[in-house]
Amino acid sequence: MSTHDKISEREITPRETYFNRRALMRGGVVAAGAVATGWLYRRLNGVEIVSTETPELVGLTKPADAAARGFVIANEDLTPRDSIINYNNFYEFTTSKDGVARASADFKTAGWKISVEGLANKPKVFDLDDLWRISPPEERIYRMRCVEAWSMVIPWAGFSLSKLLAKVEPLGSAKYVAFETLLDPERMPNQKSDALKWPYVEGLRIDEAMHPLALLTTGLYGHELPPQDGAPVRLITPWKYGFKGIKSIVKISLVATRPPTTWNHSAPDEYGFFANVNPTHDHPRWSQATEQRIGESGRRKTLLFNGYAEQVASLYSGMDLHVNY
């Protein structure tokens, strides 16, 4: 654990002023990403804290049935924003968790496009405005459990991935969904290393991808995603280990067979395809029974499916929980 974990809430400075997306659009700035680079440093306990500023999300909604559907965790403290944006895994920039914020600060997302293709009636390339038009962003407060046994509670925003997939009309032959991160070593400098096989790729079975909890994520704490958390759009599947939540997505393909996934390729004995959070199945090198909630002192018991069993367990009936799928 880095010193950063020990920063208490008392020491976290309130958020600074933020840009207003609407005002910028009026000013003729087309891509919100152009202003996502305003950031400043503070030093706390010798650790550099980067306060990345991103525009406020326009039209954020908070549906009344969110808690009942498991879309909002109501009884656990939110992880402070400064922790969420300064303790990251994003190997395209650096493998050092508290260095991602600084290393990604100049990442620009202007003109971003996501191609949704493959086994579909209406494949289409979406720009960010197309995405905003599909659905207003909805607040989703999810637990996040990394396979490394740390966790957070994060107020994301976005809409169910199923709404995007519906737009392209998947064919019956589409059994899986494959995701791909941008490949651009000039903009993602650690892609010049062989830390992982690039581009980062992930995948879901089609029924997992259609589950309403699977979130196409465009926001964090009511603002657009900062680069370090996967701007401008990433996946969040809260019942799975964090590595399934692929960042900075440029391609989504509907496919017939199980697609390769980055961490499974890197260490197949350690990281499965399904990667459902499971306290009874240990990582070969550490226990998964408990976790360190960032900002807390003691450890918590890890919950099966990260506490989302009621919503998702039926997707996996018949699967042996002790196998590293």
Ligand X SMILES: Nc1nc2c(c(=O)[nH]1)N[C@H]1C(S)=C(S)[C@@H](COP(=O)(O)O)O[C@H]1N2
What distance, in Å, lies between the first and last C-alpha atoms of the chain?
28
204 torsion bin: left (phi>0), alpha (psi -120 to 50), beta (else): beta
Question: Binding of Mo ion at residue 230 (CB under 5 A)?
Answer: no
Q: Using CB under 5 A, count the residues that bind Mo ion.
A: 4
User: Which residue, among 129, 188, 101, 151, has the nearest Cα to 279 in the 3D structure?
Assistant: 151
- Using DSSP's 3-state secondary structure scheme, residue 102 falls into helix
For the bound state, the minimum distance from the C-beta of residue 46 to Mo ion, rounded and expressed in Å, comes to: 25
Residue closer to ligand X by CB (options 110, 250) is 250
Q: For residue 186, give the amino acid letter.
A: E
For the bound state, the minimum distance from the C-beta of residue 314 to ligand X, rounded and expressed in Å, comes to: 25
The residue with tokens 């651009």 is: 184
Question: Binding of Mo ion at residue 219 (CB under 5 A)?
Answer: no
Residue closer to ligand X by CB (options 88, 160) is 88
Q: Could you give the CA distance from residue 305 to residue 311 in angstroms, rounded to a whole number? A: 9
Residue closer to ligand X by CB (options 83, 120) is 83
Question: Binding of Mo ion at residue 112 (CB under 5 A)?
Answer: no
User: Which residue, among 75, 99, 149, has the nearest Cα to 299 in the 3D structure?
Assistant: 149
Q: Are 140 and 157 in contact (CB under 8 A)?
A: yes
Applying CB under 6 A, the residues found at the interface with ligand X are 88-92, 144, 146, 181, 200, 229-230, 242-243, 245-248
For the bound state, the minimum distance from the C-beta of residue 211 to ligand X, rounded and expressed in Å, comes to: 19
For the bound state, the minimum distance from the C-beta of residue 64 to Mo ion, rounded and expressed in Å, comes to: 32
Stretch that binds Mo ion, among 31-39, 89-97, 299-307, 314-322 (CB under 5 A): 89-97
Q: Are 303 and 277 in contact (CB under 8 A)?
A: yes
Question: Binding of Mo ion at residue 70 (CB under 5 A)?
Answer: no
**Which residues contact Mo ion by CB under 5 A?**
89, 146, 242-243
